[in-house]
C-alpha cells in the first residue's frame, strides 16, 4: 500500500526550510537509498550554485556507480573512460584555463585503473578539483574487491576476506597524493552524519575556490558507504563505516595551502 506524504497545506512558502539546488536536474537519482553519492552530488551542485559558476564549470564523469553523474548535474559534462578522467580534465583546463574543471571518481576508477592518470595529473599540478568517493568496493559491477578494500573485508572477489598476503594491501592514495608537489589542498571527508555533511561542503567549496589561485590540484576524498555492496542496511553500513573505515582512513585535512598538515599525535 502506498501512502501519500505530500500534504499541500504544509508545502507553503513560509514553511520552506530546504530547497533542491538548481544545479541538480530533476532526474531521479539511481543510487541505492543511503548511499553517499547522492549527498556528495548535492554538495557539489550547491557549491557551484553558491559560487555562481554554473556557466563556467565543466565536469568529468567516471566509470563506476557515478557513471551517469551527468544526468544529475545541470552543467556541461564529459564522460571519461574508466580511470581517465584526470587526463580529460587536464586537457579541458589547459584549453580553457578560465573555466572551473572537476572530476568525480570512485576508488576503482581513481586508485586502480586510473592511478597513473591521477598521480601524474596531481604531480603536474593541474589546476583542477578532484572529488574522490571511497567506499572500498566496486559498487556498480556488484561488489568486487577495490584498491581501497580493507584487510579482511568481505567482497565478492575476496569472499573469505581480503588476505593481504595473497591479494595485496589497500592503497591509501590520498596520503600518497598529499606528498606530491602538485597538490595544493588534500582532505578526507565523510557525509554520513549531518555535521560531517556540513564540513564536507566547506571542503568542496574550498576545493573549487582554489582554482582561482592556480596553485595545483585540490583533492577531496569522501569516505562513503556502500550498503548494497557491503550487504548491510544503510544504518548498519554507516555504523560499519565509523567502526572500520574511519580508523583506517582517518578524516581531516592532509594538506592545506600546499603545506602538509602536521598530525598532533
Residue ranges that bind other proteins, judged by CB under 8 A: 54-58, 60-61, 67-68, 70, 73-81, 84, 87-92, 94-96, 99, 116-117, 119-120
* Nearest distance in Å: CB 96, other proteins: 6
Angle formed at CA 33 by CA 28 and CA 38, multiple of 5 degrees:
55
Distance (Å, rounded) from C-alpha 232 to C-alpha 241?
A: 11
Rounded least distance, CB 105 to other proteins, Å = 13
Question: Closest separation between CB of residue 161 and other proteins, Å?
Answer: 33
User: Strand pairing partners for 129?
Assistant: 102, 218
Least distance (Å) from other proteins to the CB of residue 211?
13
Closer of 187 and 211 to other proteins (Cβ): 211
Nearer residue to other proteins within complex by CB, 48 or 137 = 48
Minimum CB separation of residue 8 from other proteins in Å reads 30
DSSP code string of 55-124: GGEEEEE-SSGGGGGGGTBSSEEEEPPTT-HHHHHHHHHHH-TTSEEEEEEEHHIIIIITHHHHHHHHHH
CA distances from 25 to 21, 105, 235 (A): 9, 20, 27
Residue among 27 and 169 whose Cβ is closer to other proteins: 27
Between 103 and 148, CB nearer to other proteins: 103
584487510: which residue's cell? 151
For 223, half-sphere exposure in the C-beta direction (CA atoms, 13 angstrom radius) is 29
Residue closer to other proteins, measured from CB, 36 or 86: 86
Let me know: does 71 contact 225? Beta carbons within 8 Å.
Answer: no
Amino acid at each position: 500500500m502506498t501512502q501519500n506524504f505530500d500534504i499541500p497545506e504544509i508545502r507553503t512558502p513560509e514553511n520552506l526550510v530546504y530547497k533542491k539546488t538548481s544545479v541538480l536536474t530533476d532526474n531521479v537519482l539511481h543510487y541505492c537509498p543511503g548511499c553517499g553519492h547522492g549527498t556528495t552530488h548535492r554538495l557539489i551542485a550547491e557549491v557551484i550554485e553558491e559560487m555562481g559558476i554554473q556557466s563556467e564549470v565543466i565536469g568529468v564523469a567516471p566509470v563506476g556507480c557515478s557513471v551517469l553523474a551527468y544526468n544529475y548535474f545541470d552543467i556541461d559534462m564529459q564522460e571519461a573512460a574508466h580511470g581517465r578522467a584526470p587526463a580529460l580534465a587536464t586537457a579541458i583546463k589547459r584549453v580553457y584555463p578560465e573555466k572551473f574543471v572537476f572530476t568525480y571518481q570512485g576508488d576503482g576508477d581513481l586508485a586502480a585503473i586510473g592511478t597513473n592518470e591521477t598521480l601524474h595529473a596531481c604531480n603536474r599540478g593541474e589546476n583542477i578539483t578532484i572529488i574522490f568517493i571511497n567506499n572500498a568496493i566496486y559498487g556498480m559491477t556488484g561488489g568486487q574487491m577495490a584498491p581501497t578494500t580493507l584487510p579482511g573485508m568481505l567482497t565478492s572477489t575476496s569472499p573469505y576476506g581480503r588476505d593481504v598476503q595473497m591479494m595485496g594491501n589497500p592503497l591509501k592514495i590520498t596520503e600518497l597524493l598529499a606528498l606530491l608537489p602538485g597538490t595544493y589542498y588534500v582532505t578526507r571527508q565523510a557525509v554520513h552524519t549531518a555535521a560531517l555533511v556540513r564540513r564536507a561542503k566547506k571542503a568542496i567549496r574550498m576545493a573549487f575556490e582554489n582554482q582561482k589561485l592556480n596553485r595545483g590540484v585540490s583533492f577531496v576524498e569522501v569516505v562513503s558507504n556502500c550498503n548494497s555492496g557491503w550487504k548491510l542496511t544503510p544504518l548498519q553500513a554507516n555504523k560499519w563505516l565509523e567502526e572500520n573505515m574511519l580508523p583506517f582512513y582517518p578524516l581531516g585535512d592532509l594538506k592545506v595551502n600546499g603545506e602538509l598538515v602536521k598530525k598532533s599525535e
